[in-house]
Amino acid sequence: MMDPTQLTIAEASRAIREGTLSPVALTEAYLDRIAALDGELHSYVLVLRDQALKAAQMPARGPLHGIPIGLKDIYKTSGIRTTAGSRRYLDHVPNEDAETWVRLRNAGAVLLGKQETHEFAIGGPDFTLPFEPARNPWNTAHYPAGSSSGSAAAVAAGLCAGAMGSDTGGSIRGPAAYCGIVGLKPTYGRVSRRGVFPLSYTLDHCGPLTRTVEDCAIMMQALAGYDPLDPASADMPVPDYRAALTSRLDGLRIGVVRHFHERDAVAQFGADSAPSPVYAAAFDAACRALESLGARLVDVQLSPLVDYLDANRLIMLAEAYALHEKDFRERPQDFGHHMFARIALGAFLSAADYVEAMRQRRELAVEFARAIDGLDAVVSANSTGPAPRIDAIPTYSTFERASYTGPYNLTGSPALSVPIGFEDGLPLAFQIVGSPFDEAGVMRVGHAFEHATDFHRQRPPIAASLP
């Protein structure tokens, strides 16, 4: 019989419904892979073998029945240790579940374990933490990006069928890009943040990491929707995401944000932020693929990239520092090097700085809303080169380099990362960005793109079936 861990969520669900695959067999197969391979990848900080096998025996509950997933270890799980990747919470066992995990479990998902994260979703990769940083499945000497590092690495390596990450400046889409999988940051307010350790209240988003856009749509169907106990949650109707997927894009108008990576990156952040020639060519080829699917492309001009990033990063620093100030003052030794060095910078911001950044945020959100008005989506670069070595990430990488994901945290837009090629055997990706609450639209574009290309079908060697 075929190795069931090679199946997508859509394929495994079909096999389970048709009775040709049992949730127990599927869960056992994933647990075997974790046991065999995760010593090299470090994508899990806790594996729940007994609980997972017990959950796999439950009667059918919903569209994710029997699908084994992982949760970034900032998602609270009742009765199960949730560390946020920090010594501060090393023995923390919550008595509540993240709302997102409740929804996935109610849809039938099986929890394989908790996955490695940068400390409090910002401090990594940090070799001073209790947990070894996750490695890139395409080359374990390289960085899988963060902060949803373990989740992305596990999905790419076939150590779970899907996973949950969080994204404050790109922590779902960056790891998705470097690991060659799909990652969606939904619209701010679309997916509940309740029960997830916050990094930055107004910028945090929760979303899925999967191997295909169709799988992303299946997970989003379970995740999306109003949560009255999350103050940011939006009471908006949830469409049928899978039904929105098509193989053609005839009649669609798609904007292309070129100046962020073609001009602004080097002009505003220096030569180290220059896109690689291979990336530039892959981005252009991806745009041509969208045209070949029937879309009409138009250039989009926004404010300089640095305007978006400085506002995004200042707001994140201010909100994160406020969250950790007491501990930073009273028990700084509890934090890893990167977490402390990065977030302590928030101590030097003023209230006026924060308000000014929030005023800039509104201006830029309005600008982006006007730019995308009349368009069906916008494409924008993601990380503009292959994953660097994991031992070559500077402490202040978060602030000194160009990033193409942060602007869409600032605007709260839905943004999907999709693979567009490879460089030196490592994946490359771009983003498809939509109007607020149009996750269906960005997934439609992403699915059609997948249909026309085969990048998402390429898997790292470590993802091959066990002998």
Partner 1 sequence: MVEEPISSERFAVLVEQAGLTLTPEQFDELREGYRFVARMQKSVRRPRDRAAEPAHIFVHPRVEG
Shortest distance in whole angstroms from residue 198 CB to partner 1: 15
395 binds partner 1 (CB under 8 A): yes
Chain centre to alpha carbon of residue 189: 16
Residue nearer to partner 1 on the CB measure, 335 or 449: 335
- How many residues bind partner 1, per CB under 8 A? 40
Q: Is 127 in the site for partner 1 (CB under 8 A)?
A: no
- CB < 8 Å & 24+ apart, contacts of 35-41: 36/466, 37/157, 37/159, 37/462, 38/154, 38/159, 40/135, 40/140, 40/462, 41/134, 41/135, 41/137, 41/140, 41/153, 41/154, 41/157, 41/159, 41/462
Selecting among 148, 151, 166, 171, the annotated active-site residue is: 171
Nearest to 13 by CA among 244, 242, 248, 245: 242
**Is 270 an interacting residue with respect to partner 1 (CB under 8 A)?**
yes
| Residue 357 interacting with partner 1 (CB under 8 A) | yes
Maximum Cα interatomic distance, the chain, rounded to a whole number of Å: 63
- 290-321 b/e with 16+ CB inside 10 Å = b? beebebebeebebbebebbbbbbbbbbbbbbb
Catalytic member of 43, 147, 192, 413: 147
Q: Does 288 help bind partner 1 (rule: CB under 8 A)?
A: no
72 is catalytic: yes
Is residue 351 a contact residue for partner 1 (CB under 8 A)?
Answer: no
Binding-site string for partner 1 from residue 39 to residue 78, where x marks contact by CB under 8 A and - marks none: ----------------------------------------
Q: What residues between 197 and 216 interact with partner 1 by CB under 8 A?
A: 202
Active site (annotated) includes residue 147: yes
Given 327, 334, 353, 423, the residue binding partner 1 (CB under 8 A): 353
Binding of partner 1 at residue 231 (CB under 8 A)? yes
Task: Report the nearest approach of partner 1 to the CB of residue 230 (Å).
Answer: 11
Q: Is position 268 an interface residue for partner 1 (rule: CB under 8 A)?
A: yes
Give yes or no for residue 90 binding partner 1 (CB under 8 A).
Answer: no
Q: Does 11 bind partner 1 (CB under 8 A)?
A: no
Q: What is the DSSP letter of 260?
A: I
CB of 59 to partner 1, least distance (A): 30
Rule CB under 8 A: say whether 229 interacts with partner 1. yes
From 43, 72, 148, 435, active-site residue: 72
Among 39, 59, 329, 467, binds partner 1 (CB under 8 A): 329
Pairing of strands 110-115, 182-185: unpaired
The reply to whether 356 sits near partner 1 by the rule CB under 8 A is yes
Of 152, 176, 302, 311, which one interacts with partner 1 (CB under 8 A)?
311
Cβ contact 208:162 at 8 Å: yes
Torsion of Cα atoms, 11 then 216 then 218 then 235, to 10°: 180
Strands 182-185 and 415-423: antiparallel
**Window of 25-33, 152-160, 289-297, 302-310 that interacts with partner 1 by CB under 8 A:** 302-310
Active site residue 171: yes
Q: Which of 398, 419, 393 is nearest to 409 (CA)?
A: 398
Rounded least distance, CB 61 to partner 1, Å:
25
Burial class from Cβ neighbours inside 10 Å (0-12, 13-18, 19+) for residue 251 reads exposed
User: Is there a contact between 279 and 428 (Cβ–Cβ < 8 Å)?
Assistant: yes
In this structure, the number of other CB atoms found within 10 A of the CB of residue 325 comes to 14
DSSP-based three-state secondary structure for 422: strand
Contact status: 271 vs partner 1 (CB under 8 A): no
Q: What is the dihedral of CA 370, 373, 377, 382, to 10 degrees?
A: 0
- Work out how close the CB of 228 gets to partner 1 at its nearest, in angstroms, rounded to a whole number: 4
Q: CB neighbours of 312 closer than 8 A, spacing ≥ 6?
A: 169, 203, 361, 406, 407, 409, 410
Q: How far apart are CB 319 and partner 1 at their closest, in Å?
A: 10
Q: Please give the residue ranges that form the binding site for partner 1 (CB under 8 A).
A: 202, 228-229, 231, 268-270, 306-307, 310-311, 313-314, 317, 328-329, 332, 340-342, 344-345, 347-349, 353, 355-363, 365, 395-396, 399-400
| Residues annotated as part of the active site | 72, 147, 171
